[in-house]
Amino acid sequence: MRTHLLTSPGRRGMALAAVLVLAILALLLPRQITSAGAADASPSAAKPTIVLVHGAWADSSSWSKVIALLQRDGYMVLADPNPLRGLSSDAAYLSAFIKGRTTGPVILVGHSYGGAVITDAALNDPTVKALVYVDAFAPAKGQSCLGLSASVPGGPNPSALFDEVTYPGAPAGDVDLYLKTPVFISTFANGVPAATAAVMAAEQRPVTLSALSQPGSTPAFTKIPSWYVLGTEDNIILPSLQLSMAERAHSRITRVAAGHLSLLTRPGVVVSVILAAARTVG
């Protein structure tokens, strides 16, 4: 007589127990996978927000190539619409922007005049963990952007750089400064294709004379670590001036063979420095 293995009471009990074990595992496994996924996602969630601050004669679109690369690497990126009206007021605007639009740690990145803005804005903001300067001013207390430029022999002559335009409600003696079109194309945007530079010159946003003349307050780089992208072919902020400011700030310096707009002509280098700063936040 053939005996079927599952006909005895003992075998049936073992089979039922096995089914129950499999059912319990099926219920628990998705929870374990979800927990593992959440653990894997936590480093990404802890990444700092990158806040980019453009300089004079530009707008947030000047960061477009840098933004695309940072977003590809999974970073939250925001571009501050720097008003270019006054150093202290622009710094206050940036502080409010950070407070209103970010949570968690922040890396501040400033180009050109934007470097002076981040230097002024970040000192008393505990969320700002690092500063990155890109061909930028990093003034000490009491120094202005125009004063720094004038301190370097062989630097650009301000009277030959600007078209001055009186703006409504301007304080006595203040004006909007535009770069003369030939200066913008050949000096400010060297390294950018001429046709693109001509469009940028037509679209440039002015900065006030008072903004470039206002002395900085206590600089944030005295308390916050900094990095510096130094354009060795910059004709607006001369490389020698960039080097002296970067060394005074004790910045980690990366030299790049580029003009004043390395954020457009060498965005990969700029992003690599921003990422180096971001990796120190944890």
Sign of CA dihedral 59, 57, 139, 82: negative
Pairing of strands 226-231, 128-134: parallel
Residue pair 74/131 in contact (Cβ under 8 Å)? The answer is no
User: How far apart are the C-alpha atoms of 45 and 50, rounded to whole Å?
Assistant: 13
Rg for the chain, CA atoms, rounded: 27
Known active-site residue 186: no
> What are the backbone angles phi and psi of residue 49, rounded to the nearest 5°?
-85, 135
Residue found by looking up tokens 């060498």 in the block? 266
> DSSP class of residue 184?
I
The one catalytic residue among 112, 144, 149, 262: 112
The Cα-based distances of 168 to 92, 172, 175, 176 in angstroms read 22, 11, 9, 10
Burial group, residue 119, by CB count within 10 angstroms (0-12, 13-18, 19+): buried
Which residues are tagged catalytic? 112
